[in-house]
Chains A and B, each alone.
Chain A
Amino acid sequence: MKGLPSFKHGVHPPENKDITSGIASKRFPFPKEVILPLSQHIGTPAKALVKAGDHVERGDVIAEAAGFISSTVHATAAGTVKSIELWPHPNGLMVPSIRITVDQSSSQMRRNRMVPRWQDVKDEDLSKEIAKAGIVGLGGAAFPSHVKLCPPEDQPVELLIINGSECEPYLTSDHRVMLEQPEMVYEGIRIELKALGITRCVIGIENNKPDAIEMMRKTRPADLDAKIQPLTVKYPQGAEKMLIKAVMGREVPSGALPSAIGAMVQNVATAANVAAVFQTGHPLIERIMTVSGRGIRRPGNWKIPFGTKLRDVIEHCGGMTDDTVEILFGGPMMGQAISDLDVPVLKGTGGILVLTKDECKRQDILPCIRCGKCLEACPIFLNPQWMKDLAKAERFEELVEEAHLNDCMLCGCCSFICPSNIPLSQYFAMSKTQLRRLPKS
């Protein structure tokens, strides 16, 4: 593994990817009901366009983007709108959501649409088409893709980096995308390159997926300037700024966007879905999700329509074992703990992990022994032990100005490495929430 590019610091948690990495993705059956929150992405919630009783076809627009940093929501199954009501969201809050009773007799065909050939669309209009399809970043943060494709004018992008590193343990959905739809990924890359008006692209893949690297190499079109870059297996290799450091050897300045150093990062699954928009006209209504962990009886990779309730997913995957203690959306390092089985899976849900007692041991929190391991683990060179003290004392001004809390992406390396089991990143998540709540002074 030596010699492969990477970033400094970071950790290497047990990968646990072998549970699902060899299982081909399958279509998930349509559930009886889908729940589509108006906020499945970062930014302003969308505005509902339907009302109770309306009939919708699969792929119809049911809520439109409200503002630039927002995203369109589409019906993920044909059926009747039951109501728009408050419903549990993966983030633990109740948010307005559209409930659709799925028509069981429907063939779930998508309406035929007129799709422009992407080659004929003007460069600057491509991002509008992508916005219409409700595409958001599928790496986990669900940031609207069309916003990313419109970098600030004074910061032109010169290199597109496609993120196939998938550094979170357990998750294999991006791995499956690269194995099963490499030509879609390349098509998506072409479209994104055209939207950005550039020609160069690098695909970063962690070295623990040799079959994906091989597949991408084999299917690479000869006329595309795409380099496949194997990367050191290390967490958080897939974090935007870490990936840029590994691929370009440059560091994104604190508080700046990647476009500040001429780079843009897109996930492989996002690229594949961008291609699907222009091939079929289908908006983003389903994605490959990994259902894994030792608590699920039938793990696998499934193409699940958004809005399917967690309860239905678990049921279809054989149910939970008796020693299941925790369910996460996303990976074990950054995923969201889920407290309600009625929560729907959303655009940002890359995986559903059902973990047993053995997999998430609860350990006592002991005092900090100042060993400095968290400093050596932090990929952005912060000082977590100091930040924890500041967060505990609620000294927010110092925390932001001097300790640079805003650069922390809550990757969890510090919590993972801490021999005293101090939940460092929870302190930082808590401080970030509080800073959002407090009136700005």
Chain B
Amino acid sequence: MRDPIGKKAAELKPSGIRKFFDIVAEMDDVISLGVGEPDFDTPWAIRDEGIYSLEQGRTFYTSNSGLKELRKEITNYVHRSLGVDYDPLKETLITVGGSEAIDLAFRAMINPGDEVLVPEPSYVSYKPCAILADAVPVVIDLKEEDQFRLTAEEVEAAITPKTKILVLPFPNNPTGAVMRKEDLEAVAKVCIEHDIYVVSDEIYSELTYTGEKHRSIVQVPGMQERTILINGFSKAFAMTGWRLGYCCGPAAIIKQMTKVHQFAIMCAPTNSQYAAVVALRDCAGEVDKMREAYNQRRRFLLHEFKEMGLPCFEPFGAFYMFPSIKEFGMSSDEFATELLKDQRVAVVPGSAFGESGEGYVRISYAYSLESLKLAMGRISEFISKLRAGKQ
């Protein structure tokens, strides 16, 4: 028989998280801080609308681009939050989570051999999706001394004549880093100078704790026409399982993305789309409440790490902490494995998010304060043991 497997798929590196998942699944009594999704239930008003739409028998496909009503709510929301305007009919596409939009953006824009700049540590999908679209991913290593922000110099240094797209993953998973206005402006200047497009993954945009609103690169003059803005309902509205995201961008690119989406997916889940209309229309208050809860937990963890003497820069976005474990002379994979075996606390090794994540672990605070307290007690004990052992 011929080998049924194609080269491209076979050569993709599996996610480093999988191994952990398998170990954790076998153990009892594990406190997992390894989850990348909110612990809150989807607000009831949204769930209720989902139920109602099923009762109404709205079980058919929507148009490929998604419900017109929802696209209008989305462009209204983007206008409210960023002050940037998109045409709901031509410049917006509803996708199956933000993840699909990442995939579509690459497939719509890439010619074989084009280079895609991927800042790391970051979400695990960018590189594989770029490769599947026949692009060559070029990694930019973000540094803790820059608070894991992307600098214009780093972008400039990575650019070659083949560079076509810069991925901008902020607020960042796994570091929690956010970009300031001046950072975005500097990066934008480089992109405009070198004629580079941006895929801006802003799925955590509602979860920032600077006291100011999230800022997007599309707010910088000259950038809206060269940016695909990706967002979704998963993180802000605790709707991960509903699989609903969206993107906004120049009509020409959205048109091609919609074509690929049409052939691969048809349309995003109808039920989720109806529910999402209510999310954008009525649930800003719920989002505020969840944000405040995350912020309190974030402060709690910062305080705990300080007490433990575990160095951790202060993250201002998403729901992750990214403490350094370099003092223990272990790889982040070893640290996470030992912590799991010794204390039954699961964290994700930073190296799962790129080589520059080595020496760090990702700790999610999408958990109740009670769980976090328990977990911090165990981590503290683990660290004390390691330190005692080293002396």
A, B: real partners: no
Q: Which residues of B contact A (CB under 8 A)?
A: none
